[in-house]
């Protein structure tokens, strides 16, 4: 970006794409999109488009990779050759391997891996269109895919990018902002219900004061991402709809209390008297047989 095109964020109070400083790009998530996977998700975040698939838990092979105490979470991150303007080499590079490792560590923190010893949980994420923030987009999609697969987790993982560009603290940096002269990019992921940070990397420099202001922005942005995740999972499994129908069914099926009938003590007395009558009838039948 040339000197002439550098925007004045402080004056305009708007970013290059018209967003506010704490505003995310549009996000949409669909769950259960790949029928052959145990769990899957498709995410669009701005111009990022990501698929995530989960397989397992399954036996970890070769056997020397097994952990007798917990499952091994193996993440494979890949960018399609056509996902960026310049054709990407199909083989994994150092960046792909680094992101795979980082995502695996973040997801391991939320999965109850101790429930599946000697197994492997395979998570595969592929970026088919990229425009800044693909790392956090993949982590967000992978979390939904794990939930779709029924993998026990402490919480979902909601992630976004936070940082600084053109002198302003912002969330969810786009490509122009990542390329800014003073750009600071921080992939930031949390467990929304506990607020525990599971992903934190930083490329650039910030003061303590800037960092103190940036963390609340990141927490709020992750809460917005979490709302989209919950909505996608609810739409897939119709959780709210099912719960409402269940409540209605229980209310309709519940018999109305008839106060004209005897209470608990009366029912017990009736039951006892019925048992006595039954015993008397049996004795009479036996007596008739003996007479014959």
Q: What is the pLDDT of residues 49-61, one digit of tens each?
A: 999 999 999 999 9
What pLDDT was estimated at residue 209?
A: 96
Predicted confidence (pLDDT) at residue 5 exceeds the cutoff of 80:
no
What whole-number distance in Å separates Cα of residue 167 and Cα of residue 170? Answer: 9
- Average pLDDT in the 177-197 region? 95
pLDDT per position as a tens digit, 229-266: 999 999 988 754 444 444 344 334 434 444 444 443 44
Residue 68 has a CB neighbour count (10 Å cut-off) of 6
| Predicted confidence (pLDDT) at residue 36 exceeds the cutoff of 90 | yes
Cis peptide preceding 62, ω within 30 of 0:
yes
Least confident of 12-26, 185-199, 262-276: 262-276
Average pLDDT over residues 197-210: 94
pLDDT in tens, 77-102: 999 888 877 776 777 789 999 999 99
pLDDT > 90? residue 72: yes
Domain ranges within the chain, ordered by starting residue: 3-239, 262-292
Segment holding 29, helix H or strand E: strand 27-31
Interval 263-287 mean pLDDT: 50
pLDDT of the residue at 92: 76
Provide the percentage of residues in the chain whose pLDDT is more than 70. 76
Superfamily classification of domain 3-239: GHMP Kinase, N-terminal domain (3.30.230.70)
Query: Residue 211: what pLDDT?
Result: 96
Residue 123 has pLDDT above 70, yes or no: yes
Where do the H-state alpha helices sit in the chain? 9-12, 94-108, 134-148, 175-178, 208-237, 239-253, 264-291
């Amino acid at each position: 970006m040339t000197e002439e095109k550098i925007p004045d964020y402080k004056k305009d109070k708007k970013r290059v794409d018209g967003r506010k400083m704490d505003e995310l790009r549009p996000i949409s998530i669909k769950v259960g999109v790949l029928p052959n996977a145990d769990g899957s998700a498709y995410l669009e975040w701005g111009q990022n488009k990501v698929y995530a698939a989960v397989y397992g838990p399954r036996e970890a092979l070769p056997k020397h990779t097994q952990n007798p105490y917990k499952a091994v979470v193996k993440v494979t991150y890949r960018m399609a050759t056509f996902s960026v303007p310049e054709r990407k080499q199909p083989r994994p590079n150092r960046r792909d391997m680094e992101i795979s490792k980082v995502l695996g560590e973040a997801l391991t923190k939320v999965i109850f891996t101790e429930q599946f010893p000697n197994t492997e949980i395979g998570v595969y994420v592929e970026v088919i269109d990229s425009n800044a923030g693909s790392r956090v987009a993949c982590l967000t999609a992978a979390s939904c895919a794990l939930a779709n697969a029924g993998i026990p987790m402490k919480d979902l993982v909601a992630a976004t990018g936070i940082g600084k560009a053109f002198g302003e603290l912002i969330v969810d940096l786009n490509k122009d902002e990542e390329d800014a002269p003073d750009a600071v990019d921080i992939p930031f992921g949390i467990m929304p219900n506990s607020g525990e940070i599971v992903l934190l990397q930083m490329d650039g420099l910030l003061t303590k004061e800037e960092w103190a202001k940036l963390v609340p922005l990141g927490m709020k942005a992750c809460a917005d991402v979490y709302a989209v995740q919950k909505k996608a999972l609810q739409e897939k499994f119709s959780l709210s709809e099912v719960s409402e129908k269940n409540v209605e069914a229980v209310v309709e099926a519940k018999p109305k209390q008839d106060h004209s009938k005897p209470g608990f003590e009366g029912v017990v007395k009736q039951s006892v008297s019925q048992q006595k009558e039954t015993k008397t009838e049996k004795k009479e039948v036996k007596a008739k047989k003996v007479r014959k």
